[in-house]
């Protein structure tokens, strides 16, 4: 393809098309609406379907329903809509139905500042729905990465039968950059589902493997899906001997494949005693600050997390063993910093926070490196 | 039709509208239940929901649909447990959201018969928004609303269809909220097919549900039931048999209603049973298929 100027939200739309997404349901909300607009225009061209639902609760429900029906499905929203989606994100996690949720973070809490950027949904992406559950969240730092991580989100979602959250922000979503997208024909995701009947099917079997395949509705396996605790056949159960093996598989299925799921970029400098760790729009600030710091002679490492959840515990722990201090810039009051502190201890972490809709500046990071 | 069946159901509708005798006789009801599921059901003895389940199975059977081509989607509540026992593609979802899940499924699989099973609280309180929008879009879904006038599973709290002045555990001094007329709501929102019967009139339910499933657009059948365990006890309405019998006495067929004088109609307090709307208008997934054809044909 040729180089095009586009914003992150456009790139997300194209990434969905490239990944084979053929159903989108959503509700208009700033600053994510462009994702819906581009997909309402592009999906019918490839035989896909778009619907604008009556609210975000329904949007989330509709993409799960369509996913069960066999279509790769996505929705996009922002803070308030993301809050409404939590109920059915939990449903998708519990029933292990693949789907992709784009959250273009805006300033909260509540209605907050619709056109201002934020990274305030980091913890909501992890714990927004009730109960313990596995979840994946990816966070792009550029327009091109918004495309790539959207494709990746679909792949991980199908492979591990889990909702995947593309946790981006208003800056990446609305920022325009020249990008050279790959030929979509070169992007072929494997088929992880059962699309025709072949032998017996145990929808929630606990072994072998960590992720039993999903059979699309209508292919001949008439089975039951419920978000109640269920046995291997999918029927609700209160028996602990049936619940426990399922719980064990469910809550460890991502942990067993971290090599495949965790993505991060490291820019190491020999002898560095300082490191900046960031993600999303704040990673851009951090990269700039790193260059300025190195130019004035400071030895600084940079770690950029593309996978936020599951949190890359081992990698951050190793970073903490290498350096004395980790600066964590983010556009909230220190949500990801909690996780970094959990791994390396509070004394090693310096938070650089801003939650007023403005970006963290390189100077704020430089000051923290000095302090 | 066997005389004892007619007698047992106190049928008042036209003979011609009723299912043929052989339909009932050859119904493969038992074959359409999931035998590997632990029966009995979760429902209290004497509950009306089982009657609706039977009617639904017979209707699907009557239409000659393949089990693989039928999807049942349900929300949360006593009624919403129904799909567990039935041998189709079954999706038990979150409270109130059955129609929203069903919408996605229907768009992904327009060839499947998608049937949403809900209670009154499920469909009209927490799911009220989805209910009116599914009807407005004329989404090709059949909604079956089992109306027992109460939140049964949680123990008898008042619902959007609890009659005025009735008691509930959360309306200990009587309910001061007027109830939703479910069929009127569906008609106003744009449903293609709207009908109502009661669990006393099981064969009439068979017929309405069968017609509703046959309908291309959004169809809704209200099955008036009762909850003797909560609503009946609090309001001193007697046993399940008493409440079942009351449905016969407190309901009136559309035909009989039509024969009432204007004054009698105004003063009528009985539940009118009948098919209120049966129209054809563009069904959503057909409209979307046409859209895809147009766009892929090069239209800008």
Instruction: Express each pLDDT in B61-79 by its tens digit.
Output: 899 999 999 999 999 999 9
CB pair distance less than 8 Å for B93 and A91:
yes
Is residue A118 assigned to a domain?
A: yes
- pLDDT-derived band at B40 (thresholds 50, 70, 90) equals confident
Number of domains in chain A: 2
Per-residue pLDDT for A35 more than 50? yes
Count of CA atoms in the C-beta half-sphere (13 A) of A286? 29
pLDDT-derived band at B298 (thresholds 50, 70, 90) equals confident
Q: Clarify whether residues A171 and A73 are in a common domain.
A: yes
**Which band of pLDDT confidence, cut at 50, 70 and 90, is reported for residue A11?**
very high
Q: Over pLDDT 90: what percentage of chain A?
A: 98
Q: How confident is the model at residue A371 (pLDDT cuts 50, 70, 90)?
A: confident
Q: pLDDT band at residue A208, thresholds of 50, 70 and 90?
A: confident
Percent of chain A scored above 70 by pLDDT?
100
Is the CB of A62 less than 8 angstroms away from the CB of B103?
yes
Cβ contacts of B37 on chain A, cutoff 8 Å = 235
What is the rounded average pLDDT of the residues B51-59? 94
pLDDT given at position A330: 98
Q: What is the reported pLDDT for B35? A: 65
Tell me which residues of chain A, numbers 18 to 47, contact chain B at a CB-CB cutoff of 8 Å: 23, 25, 44-45, 47
| pLDDT digit string, tens, across residues B128-175 | 999 999 999 999 999 999 999 999 999 999 999 999 999 999 999 999
Cβ neighbours of A64 in B, within 8 Å: 93, 101, 104
Task: Give the residue on A whose Cα is nearest the Cα of B288.
Answer: A49
3-state secondary structure of B35: coil
Give the distance from residue B267's alpha carbon to the nearest chain A alpha carbon, in angstroms.
37
Please say which residue of A152, A186, A220 terminates a domain. A186
- Mean pLDDT, chain B, whole residue set: 91
Contact B104 A69 (CB under 8 A): yes
Q: Do A218 and B89 touch (CB under 8 A)?
A: yes
> What is the mean pLDDT of the segment spanning A341-350?
98
**pLDDT higher than threshold 80 for residue B19:** no
Is the torsion defined by CA of B100, B102, B105, B107 positive or negative? negative
Whether residue A310 sits in one domain with residue A164:
no
Q: Is residue A164 located within the same domain as residue A63?
A: yes
Do A181 and A267 lie in one domain? The reply is no
Give the whole-angstrom CA distance, residue B243 versus residue B223. Answer: 14
Cβ–Cβ < 8 Å for A73, B104: yes
* Owning domain of residue A156: 3-186
B105 touching A, CB under 8 A? yes
* Residue where one domain finishes, among candidates A186, A208, A231: A186
Do A16 and A164 belong together in one domain?
yes
Chain A residue numbers with beta carbons less than 8 Å from the beta carbon of B112 are 69, 217-218
Element (H, E) at B74: strand B70-74
If one compares B14 and A226, the residue with the highest pLDDT of the two is: A226
List, as ranges, residues 196-255 from A with C-beta within 8 Å of B.
217-220, 222-228, 233, 235-236
Residue B36: per-residue pLDDT: 65
Residue A27 near residue A59 (C-beta atoms within 8 A)? yes
CATH number at residue B182: 3.40.50.970
Query: Quick check: A88 contacting B, CB < 8 Å?
Result: yes
In tens, the pLDDT along A134-148 reads 999 999 999 999 999
Q: Which residues of A touch B296 (CB under 8 A)?
A: 44-45, 47
The answer, yes or no, to whether residue A45 has pLDDT greater than 90, is yes
Q: Does B31 touch chain A (CB under 8 A)?
A: no
CATH number of A176's domain: 3.40.50.970
CA A223, CA A210: separation in Å to the nearest integer? Answer: 20
**d(CA A224, nearest CA chain B) in Å:** 5
Residue B96 Cα, gap to closest chain A Cα (Å):
10
Shortest CA distance from A237: residue in chain B: B38
Higher local confidence (pLDDT), B7 or A195: A195
pLDDT band at B207 (very low <50, low <70, confident <90, very high): very high
Which residues lie closer than 8 Å to A107 by C-beta, 6 or more apart?
A79, A113, A114, A116, A117, A118, A120, A355, A356, A357
How much is the average pLDDT of A321-337?
A: 98
Q: What is the pLDDT of residues B73-129, one digit of tens each?
A: 999 999 999 999 999 999 999 999 999 999 999 999 999 999 999 999 999 999 999
Q: How many domains does chain B have?
A: 1
CB contact under 8 A, A69 and B111: no
Q: What is the pLDDT of residue B39?
A: 73
Buried b or exposed e, range A137-152, using 16+ CB within 10 angstroms:
bbbbbbbbbbbbbbbb
Q: Are B122 and B69 in contact (CB under 8 A)?
A: no
Please check whether residues A174 and A280 belong to one and the same domain: no
A284 and A156 within one domain: no
pLDDT at A217 over 70: yes
pLDDT score of B34 more than 70:
yes
Residue B92 belongs to what domain range?
3-296
CATH of the domain at A335: 3.40.50.920
Say yes or no for a CB contact (<8 Å) between A63 and B104.
Answer: yes
Domain termination residue (choose one: A169, A186, A203): A186
CB contact under 8 A, B104 and A25: yes
Q: A57, B100: Cβ pair inside 8 Å? A: yes
* A95 vs B21, more confident: A95
pLDDT, residue A207, reads 84
Q: Tokens in use for A119? A: 């990274």
Over range A85-94, report the average pLDDT: 98
Query: Using an 8 Å Cβ cutoff, are A236 and A230 in contact?
Result: yes
- Closest approach of chain A CAs to the CA of B46, in angstroms? 23
Residue of B nearest to A24 (CA): B104
Residue at A170 is within a domain: yes
Q: Are strands B219-224 and B150-151 parallel, antiparallel or unpaired?
A: unpaired
Identify the pLDDT of residue B29. 64
């Amino acid at each position: 393809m040729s180089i095009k100027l586009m914003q992150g939200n456009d790139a997300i739309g194209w990434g969905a098309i490239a990944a084979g997404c053929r159903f989108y349901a959503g509700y208009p909300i700033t600053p994510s609406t462009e994702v819906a607009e581009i997909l309402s225009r592009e999906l019918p061209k490839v035989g896909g379907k778009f619907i604008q639902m009556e609210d975000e609760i329904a949007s989330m429900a509709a993409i799960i329903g369509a996913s069960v029906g066999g279509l790769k499905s996505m929705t996009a929203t922002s803070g308030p809509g993301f809050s409404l989606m939590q109920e059915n994100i939990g449903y998708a996690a519990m029933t292990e139905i693949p789907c992709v949720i784009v959250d273009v973070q805006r300033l909260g809490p509540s209605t907050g500042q619709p056109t201002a950027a934020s990274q305030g949904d980091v913890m909501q992406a992890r714990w927004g729905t009730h109960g313990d559950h596995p979840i994946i969240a990816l966070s792009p730092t550029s327009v091109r990465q918004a495309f790539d991580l959207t494709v990746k989100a679909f792949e991980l979602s199908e492979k591990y039968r889990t909702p995947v959250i593309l946790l981006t922000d208003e800056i990446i979503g609305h920022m325009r950059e020249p990008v050279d997208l790959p030929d979509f024909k070169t992007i072929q995701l494997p088929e992880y589902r059962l699309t025709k009947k072949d032998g017996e099917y145990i929808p929630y079997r606990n072994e072998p493997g960590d992720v039993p395949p999903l059979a699309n509705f209508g292919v001949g396996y008439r089975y039951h899906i419920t978000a109640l605790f269920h046995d291997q056949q999918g029927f609700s159960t209160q028996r602990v001997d049936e619940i426990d093996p399922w719980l064990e598989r469910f809550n460890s299925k991502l942990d067993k494949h971290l090599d495949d799921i965790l993505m991060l970029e490291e820019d190491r400098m020999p002898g560095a005693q300082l490191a900046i760790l960031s993600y999303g729009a704040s990673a851009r600030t951090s990269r700039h600050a790193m260059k300025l710091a190195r130019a004035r002679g400071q030895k600084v490492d940079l770690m950029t997390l593309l996978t936020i959840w599951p949190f890359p515990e081992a990698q951050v722990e190793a970073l903490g063993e290498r350096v004395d201090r980790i600066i964590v810039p983010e556009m909230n009051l220190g949500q990801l910093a909690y996780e970094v502190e959990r791994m390396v201890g509070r004394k090693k972490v310096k938070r650089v926070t801003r939650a007023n809709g403005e970006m963290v500046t390189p100077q704020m990071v430089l000051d923290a490196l000095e302090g | 039709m066997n005389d004892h069946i007619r007698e047992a159901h106190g049928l008042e509708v036209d003979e011609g509208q009723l299912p043929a005798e052989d339909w009932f006789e050859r119904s493969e009801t038992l074959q359409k239940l999931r035998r590997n599921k632990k029966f009995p059901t979760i429902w209290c003895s004497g509950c009306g929901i089982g009657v609706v389940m039977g009617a639904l199975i017979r209707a699907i059977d009557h239409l000659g649909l393949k089990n693989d081509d039928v999807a049942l989607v349900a929300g949360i509540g006593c009624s919403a447990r129904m799909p567990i026992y039935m041998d189709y593609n079954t999706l038990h979802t979150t409270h109130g959201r059955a129609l929203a899940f069903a919408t996605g499924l229907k768009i992904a699989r327009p060839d499947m018969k998608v049937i949403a099973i809900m209670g009154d609280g499920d469909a009209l309180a927490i799911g009220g928004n989805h209910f009116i929008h599914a009807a407005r879009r004329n989404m090709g879904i059949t909604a079956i609303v089992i109306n027992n006038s109460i939140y049964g599973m949680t123990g008898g709290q008042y619902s959007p269809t609890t009659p005025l002045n009735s008691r509930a555990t959360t309306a200990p001094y009587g309910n001061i909220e007027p109830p939703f007329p479910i069929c009127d709501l569906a008609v106003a929102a744009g449903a293609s097919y709207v009908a109502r019967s009661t669990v006393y009139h099981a064969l009439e339910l068979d017929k309405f549900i069968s017609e509703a499933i046959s309908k291309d657009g959004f169809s809704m059948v209200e099955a008036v039931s009762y909850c003797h365990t909560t609503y009946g006890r609090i309001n001193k309405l007697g046993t399940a048999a008493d409440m079942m019998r009351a449905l016969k006495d407190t309901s009136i067929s559309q035909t009989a209603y039509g024969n009432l004088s204007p004054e009698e109609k105004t003063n009528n307090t009985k539940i009118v049973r009948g098919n209120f709307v049966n129209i054809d208008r563009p069904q959503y997934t057909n409209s979307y298929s046409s859209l895809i054809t147009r766009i892929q044909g090069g239209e800008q």
